[in-house]
Amino acid sequence: MADIYVASDKRYDRMKYNRVGNSGLKFPAVSLGFWHNFGSKDNYDTMKAMCRTAFDAGITQFDLANNYGPVYGSAEENAGKILRDDFQPYRDELVITTKAGYDMWPGPYGDWGSKKYLTASIDQSLKRLGLEYVDIFYHHRMDPETPLEETMEALASIVRSGKALYAGISNYDKAYTQKALAIMGELHCPLIVNQRSYSIFNRAIEEDGVKKCCREQGMGIIAFSPLEQGLLTDKYLHGIPEDSRIGRGSRFLKSDALLPRRLRQIERLNALAAERGQTLAQMALSWVLKDDEVCSVLIGASRPEQILENISVAENAAFTSEELRKIEKIVSSGENF
C-alpha cells in the first residue's frame, strides 16, 4: 500500500511569515532550497522526507532553479515527482519558485538573459515540475551583454502569460537592481524580491548598497548561503568530515576556505551561540533574519533533522547590542576579545 502523506494540522503553529517588500505575498522565515541534495544522484526517499518535514514545520516555500542537480534539471524533476506524490492537495499552500540565467543547455541560447532563453526555460521548468505556474520566476544573474530591457520584458511577459505569478531577480547588484525596478515599473509588473547571498561572513549586500536600496524601494530580500556553505555550523570544529562539502571536493567550497583565522572565528562564534542557547547554525540564521529587509533565509539540508534544528530561528532572531558587538569583533579580527 502506498505511503500517503497527510500534512500536520499544527504546521502553522510555530513559523513566522514575513511580507515580501510591498507585495501581498508572505515568505516563511525559513525556506527550503533545492540547490544541493535533490539531484539525480541523491536518494529520493530522503528528499521526500525532507519536504514532508519542512512543510509540517511551516516551511511553505521550495526554491529551485532550472540547472539545479546534478544533472541539470534533475532537482526540478525530483521536485515535480514529490509534488505529485505528496503535495497535490496542498499546492495552494506552497510557494514554488525557480530561476534561469546560468548555463543550462549547449549553444548560444541556453545561458544568460535573452528573451529566447528565459521563455524556453520557464516552459521546460514547468514541464519538469508538472505545474501550470510557479509562484516566482527569477532571472538568476546579471547579463552584461543582453539589454536589461529585454530581460525584464521577458520576465513581465512570463508573468502576463500566467506561467509565473511574480517576478524576481537574483545576484543583482545595486545599479542593476535600481535599473531593473525602473524598467519593470514602466512595464507595470513589479519586481518583488532580490535573492542574494548573505551571512555573518558575507556582507556584500550591505557593502554594495543593495540592502538599503531594497528597503527604500519596497523590495524583499531572500538570503541564500546564510550558513556560508556549512562553515557557520559546528561541522568543521574538529576537522573536515569526509561527508562534508569540503570533504567531497565541492566546486563551491574548497579547503582553503577553512584557514586558521577562519577556524578561530568559527570557534568563537560557536561559543557565543552556546551562550545564547543556540547552535552556531541557529545563531547564524537568526543573525541574517534580525533586520526587516530579509524576509526569509534559504536553508539546504541533507536530512530531515537539520531542518528541525533550524526552524527554531523563526521564533528567536533577537540580539542584544552586546551580542552584535561581539559578533562584529570576532568577524573583524578572528582573535580573542
Q: End-to-end distance of the chain based on CA atoms, in angstroms?
A: 60
What tens digit of pLDDT does each residue of 210-269 get? 999 999 999 999 999 999 988 999 988 876 655 555 545 555 455 566 788 899 999 999
- Please give the CATH topology (third level) of the domain spanning 17-230+290-314: TIM Barrel (3.20.20)
For residues 123 and 115, what is the distance between their CA atoms, to the nearest angstrom?
Answer: 12
Distance set, CA 191 to CA 61, 75, 217, 267 (Å):
18, 25, 10, 39
Distance set, CA 143 to CA 47, 70, 149 (Å):
32, 23, 11
The secondary structure element, H or E, covering residue 295 is: strand 294-299
Cα dihedral 146→148→149→151 (10° resolution): 70
- On whether the pTM is more than 0.85, the answer is yes
pLDDT of residue 336: 45
pLDDT of residue 326: 97
For residues 284 and 226, what is the distance between their CA atoms, to the nearest angstrom?
Answer: 7
pLDDT of residue 224: 98
Q: What share of the chain in percent tops pLDDT 90?
A: 85
Q: Chain-wide mean pLDDT for the chain?
A: 93
Which range among 61-70, 227-236, 306-315, 316-325 has the greatest average pLDDT? 61-70
pLDDT of residue 259: 81
Cα dihedral 112→152→224→171 (10° resolution): 60
- pLDDT-wise least confident of 140-154, 156-170, 229-243, 296-310: 229-243
What tens digit of pLDDT does each residue of 111-150 get? 999 999 999 999 999 999 999 999 999 999 999 999 999 9
**Among 211, 221, 320, 246, CA closest to 276:** 320
**What is the mean pLDDT of the segment spanning 297-305?**
96
Q: Parse the chain into domains and list their residue ranges.
A: 17-230+290-314
What tens digit of pLDDT does each residue of 31-79 get? 999 999 999 999 999 999 999 999 999 999 999 999 999 999 999 999 9
For residues 313 and 80, what is the distance between their CA atoms, to the nearest angstrom?
Answer: 28
Q: What share of the chain in percent tops pLDDT 70?
A: 92
pLDDT of residue 247: 46
